[in-house]
Amino acid sequence: MDSRNLDRETIVRAALGLLAERGLATVTLRKVAVAVGARAPSLYWHGADKGALFGLMSEAVLKQSLEQVPPSDDWRDWLRGLGPSVW
């Protein structure tokens, strides 16, 4: 992939893939860059550092979890649906 065509979504998706496959300790900017076919410095245009990448990953996981919660008129039922979604 041409690093000029990189976007945050692609980078975050690759980082989450590494997380799922190998665990959090293996998620590095260098490995994410390899996964998207770019060089690590090009990732700095999309996030300041590894901490920023983890923040973007967390945001993506939370957003996906919230989208999977079944709608409910009762907040308690909604909250019960959130647990398995986050898990």
Q: What is the pLDDT of residues 20-40, one digit of tens each?
A: 999 999 899 999 999 999 988
- 14: amino acid identity, one letter: A
Read off the pTM: 0.80
CA distance 4 to 7: 8
DSSP 44-65: TTT-SSHHHHHHHHHHHHHHHH
pLDDT of residue 4: 59
pLDDT of residue 57: 95
Beta strands in the chain (DSSP E): none
Residue 71 — very low, low, confident or very high, per pLDDT cuts 50/70/90?
Answer: very high
Domains along the chain with CATH numbers: 3-86 (1.10.357.10)
8-state DSSP, 6:
-
